[in-house]
């Protein structure tokens, strides 16, 4: 379904200094806020961090999307986690087993006195280890880290936190999480105390600790190279804030991640993600308040909707929303009321309730839509549609006018009271001839003769379309123009376009189509990614698990070199006997190697195998 790779707020102060585009709408992902690290499923990782990892790929780099470029990397092939399709609501995740990714980020208290780490993980049910750590860096003094430890009361595999002092062993121990079941946790560290959250519940509150001396780096999947304490299981999301999050922020993020990854949590405020409620489990964000010192009243998240300035947000009240992942296109011309010509395909749905699910009223809100880059927008044509009777139909509703332009493609409906618990909403236009984006019907790319990249796209109709720009990037961030193709201007029939890139990048290429109107407004297609170098290279290693003889085949490529590493990173190739070698194939006898995990490394791949005796 989807791809691989407490700060105290005084009184009612609104946190509006940032755009709040971080997880759950907390913090910003442009590097301007307290969100310092964000490793998420939406990243392109492996192969120097630029290629989308597929199931079975080893992850060399997991890109940070916080805006700070705190990427998690691993130069040792045998220590790289594996991208795998796992039990995280069909998302692919990084699977760790004596693996780690390193981040050049100092977590010592002298540099970052206050931090909060949030992660979505699961534990391999077959693990026998009793010291499992999700993150940290240990130099022998138990610096900041979190994970599973059998020193907690109640026996092995209970969840705990450490913060540099052996005197806190047993503080923050949770019930043992079940194996192969995703859960979300938060760990907040100050210079003298920590807080712990587990699946939506505040488990540890201001426990007194003494910090260790810290290290100037951070490991994900282990506590570093000095000690044999590492995670055995999946890590789907890893987030670090450089301050202590308050209770409202933690509750909102836990609800957002639970909706995204299909996790059952306590204090489940947002229930619109359930199948019975329409599966509105995408881009979940929210505002809310536990009390005057624990509130969050401005959020956008990873979507185009931002909600802020609630007029009556009371204690223990929240407004959390998500969408159904419908297209951001004004193509729905059937389920619309009088006075509207089309609405967005995408719909949003809200929970306006307390933690028990009881409906509340947070007062009027300001709601903003970021329509930048989506084409021509006439402010007076915009309409907010709210399914006030909650019958799943917008055609029987009254469109809400009054949008104002805030600049940079952002439009606001102010002091909205129609959005209440459980209802849907969307945005519409009263004039399809001049407002909202002109979109492509399809956009595809393909490899031709193992050396060219061909792009195809199709439009169903065109209004005021001047031309297309074909753009390419090597990193998905910095774009350059390849060619300009004239559009049809105005058309109501299917039109096909294509372009052949005769000089593609040697490895990964990102492509997009930019459509420009005669009045200079523009919109972008989705981004397509392709790897020319991998198109004709496929490495096969079999059998796996192996008892004695193993065969390595690299299609369409000379198999020049094979190295075998154990889990300690030691080269054990000399202990394996090479039985045969040809242009693209090698056969080894591994019977002399002890049972365990090994890594078969070629010029273009790393494959994890299991050696088992009969």
How many CA atoms does the CB half-sphere of 503 hold within 13 Å? 2
Phi-psi region of 319 (alpha: psi -120 to 50; beta: other; left: phi over 0): beta
381 CB neighbour count, 10 Å cutoff = 20
For residues 316-331, give the mean pLDDT: 91
> What pLDDT is recorded for position 505?
84
Residue 171 has pLDDT above 60, yes or no: no
> What pLDDT is recorded for position 155?
36
For residues 68-92, give the mean pLDDT: 85
DSSP code at position 448: E
How far are the Cα atoms of 43, 53, 73, 103, 350 from residue 30, in angstroms, in the given order? 15, 24, 21, 18, 26
> What pLDDT is recorded for position 321?
98
Judge if the upstream peptide bond of residue 545 is cis by omega within 30 degrees of 0: yes
Residue 351 pairs in a beta bridge with 320
DSSP 170-229: TTT--PPPPTT--EEEEEEE-SSEEEEEETTEEEEEEEE-------S-EEESBS-SSSS-
For residues 32 and 67, the answer to whether their CB atoms sit within 8 Å is yes
How many CA atoms does the CB half-sphere of 327 hold within 13 Å? 15
> What pLDDT is recorded for position 176?
59
Residue 188 has pLDDT above 50, yes or no: yes
Residue 145 pairs in a beta bridge with 136, 162
Residue 211 has pLDDT above 90, yes or no: no
The 3-class SS string of 497-537 reads EEEEECCCCCCEEEEEEEEEECCCCEEECCCEEEEHHHHCC
Higher pLDDT, 521 or 516: 516
Residue 586 pairs in a beta bridge with 552, 581
For residues 244 and 7, the answer to whether their CB atoms sit within 8 Å is yes
Residue 382 CA to residue 401 CA, distance in Å, equals 7
Residue 145 has pLDDT above 80, yes or no: no
Residue 537 has pLDDT above 80, yes or no: no
Phi-psi region of 81 (alpha: psi -120 to 50; beta: other; left: phi over 0): beta
Percentage of the chain surpassing pLDDT 90?
A: 38
DSSP code at position 363: -
175 CB neighbour count, 10 Å cutoff = 12
Fold (topology level) of 442-534: Immunoglobulin-like (2.60.40)
Q: Under 8 Å CB-to-CB from 126, ≥6 apart: which residues? A: 179
Residue 17 has pLDDT above 60, yes or no: no
DSSP code at position 359: B
225: exposed, middle or buried (C-beta count within 10 Å: 0-12, 13-18, 19+)?
middle
Q: Under 8 Å CB-to-CB from 464, ≥6 apart: which residues? A: 376, 434, 438, 489, 490, 517, 518, 519
Residue 524 CA to residue 518 CA, distance in Å, equals 15
> What pLDDT is recorded for position 299?
96
Higher pLDDT, 261 or 274: 261
For residues 97-102, give the mean pLDDT: 90
> What pLDDT is recorded for position 165?
36
Mean pLDDT of the chain: 81
Give the highest mean pLDDT range of 290-294, 484-488, 505-509: 290-294
What are the residue ranges spanned by the domains of the chain?
89-261, 275-429, 442-534, 537-611
Residue 199 has pLDDT above 70, yes or no: yes
Fold (topology level) of 537-611: Immunoglobulin-like (2.60.40)
Residue 49 CA to residue 43 CA, distance in Å, equals 9
For residues 137 and 217, the answer to whether their CB atoms sit within 8 Å is yes
420 backbone dihedrals φ, ψ, rounded to 5°: -130, 180
Kindly tell me the sign of the dihedral angle through the C-alpha atoms of 260, 264, 269, 272.
positive
Percentage of the chain surpassing pLDDT 70?
A: 80
For residues 23-50, give the mean pLDDT: 77
> What is the CATH number that goes with domain 89-261?
2.60.120.200
Query: Do 537-611 and 442-534 have the same topology in CATH?
Result: yes
580 CB neighbour count, 10 Å cutoff = 10
Read off the pLDDT band of 10 (50, 70, 90). Answer: very low
For residues 576-592, give the mean pLDDT: 86
Q: Under 8 Å CB-to-CB from 307, ≥6 apart: which residues? A: 285, 287, 298, 299, 300, 319, 321, 365, 366, 367, 368
Give the highest mean pLDDT range of 19-23, 375-379, 412-416: 412-416
Give the highest mean pLDDT range of 108-117, 128-137, 215-224, 389-398: 389-398
Give the highest mean pLDDT range of 196-210, 339-353, 367-381: 339-353
- Lowest mean pLDDT, pick from 313-317, 319-323, 368-372, 473-477: 473-477
């Amino acid at each position: 379904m989807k791809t691989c790779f407490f700060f105290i707020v005084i009184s009612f102060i609104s946190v509006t200094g940032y755009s709040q585009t971080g997880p759950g709408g907390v913090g910003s992902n442009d590097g301007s806020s307290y969100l310092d690290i964000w490793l998420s499923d939406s990243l392109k990782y492996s192969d120097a961090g630029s290629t989308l990892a597929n199931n079975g790929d080893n992850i060399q780099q997991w890109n940070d999307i916080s805006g700070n470029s705190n990427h998690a990397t691993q130069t040792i092939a045998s220590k790289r986690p594996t991208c795998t399709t796992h039990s995280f609501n069909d998302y692919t995740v990084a699977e760790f087993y004596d693996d780690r990714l390193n981040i050049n980020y100092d977590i010592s208290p002298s540099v970052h006195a206050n931090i909060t780490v949030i992660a979505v993980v699961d534990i391999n049910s077959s693990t026998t280890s009793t010291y499992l750590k999700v993150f940290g860096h240990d130099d022998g003094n138990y610096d900041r880290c979190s994970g599973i430890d059998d020193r907690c009361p109640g026996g092995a595999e209970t969840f705990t936190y450490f913060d540099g002092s052996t005197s806190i062993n047993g503080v923050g121990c949770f019930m043992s999480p079940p194996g192969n079941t995703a859960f979300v946790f938060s760990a907040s560290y100050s210079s003298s105390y920590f807080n712990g959250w587990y699946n939506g519940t505040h488990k540890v509150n201001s426990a007194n600790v003494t910090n260790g001396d810290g290290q100037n780096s951070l490991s994900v999947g282990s506590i570093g190279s000095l000690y044999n304490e590492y995670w055995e299981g999946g890590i789907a999301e890893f987030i670090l804030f450089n301050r202590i999050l308050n209770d409202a922020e933690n509750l909102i993020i836990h609800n957002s991640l639970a909706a995204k990854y299909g996790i059952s949590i306590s204090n489940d405020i947002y229930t619109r993600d359930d199948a019975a409620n329409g599966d509105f489990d995408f881009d979940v964000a929210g505002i809310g308040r536990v009390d005057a010192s624990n509130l969050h009243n401005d959020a956008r998240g990873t979507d185009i909707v931002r909600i802020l300035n609630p007029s009556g947000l009371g204690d223990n009240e929240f407004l959390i929303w998500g969408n159904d992942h419908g297209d951001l296109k004004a193509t729905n011309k059937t389920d619309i009321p009088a006075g509207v010509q089309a609405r967005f395909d995408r719909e949003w749905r809200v929970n306006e309730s307390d933690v028990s699910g009881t409906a509340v009223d947070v007062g009027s809100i300001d709601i903003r839509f970021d329509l930048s880059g989506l084409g021509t927008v006439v402010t007076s044509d915009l309409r907010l549609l709210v399914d006030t009777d909650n019958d799943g139909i917008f055609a029987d509703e009254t469109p809400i006018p009054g949008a104002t332009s805030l600049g940079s493609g952002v439009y606001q409906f102010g002091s909205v009271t129609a959005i209440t618990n459980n209802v849907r909403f969307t945005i519409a236009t009263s004039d399809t001839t001049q407002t909202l984006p002109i979109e492509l019907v399809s956009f595809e790319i393909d490899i031709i003769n193992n050396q060219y990249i061909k792009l195809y796209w199709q439009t169903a109709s065109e209004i005021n379309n001047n031309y297309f720009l074909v753009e390419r990037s090597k990193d998905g961030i910095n774009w350059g123009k390849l060619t300009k193709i004239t559009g049809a201007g105005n058309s109501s029939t299917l039109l096909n376009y294509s372009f052949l890139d005769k000089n593609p990048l040697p490895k990964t290429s990102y492509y997009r189509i930019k459509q420009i109107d005669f009045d200079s407004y523009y919109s972008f297609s989705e981004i397509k990614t392709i790897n020319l170098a991998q198109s004709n290279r496929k490495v096969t290693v079999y059998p796996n698990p192996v008892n004695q003889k193993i065969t390595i085949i690299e299609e369409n490529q000379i198999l020049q070199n094979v190295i075998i590493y154990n889990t300690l990173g030691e080269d054990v190739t000399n202990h394996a006997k090479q039985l045969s070698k040809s242009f693209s194939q090698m056969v080894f006898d591994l019977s002399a190697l002890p049972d365990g995990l090994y890594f078969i490394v070629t010029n273009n791949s790393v494959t994890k195998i299991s050696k088992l005796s009969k």
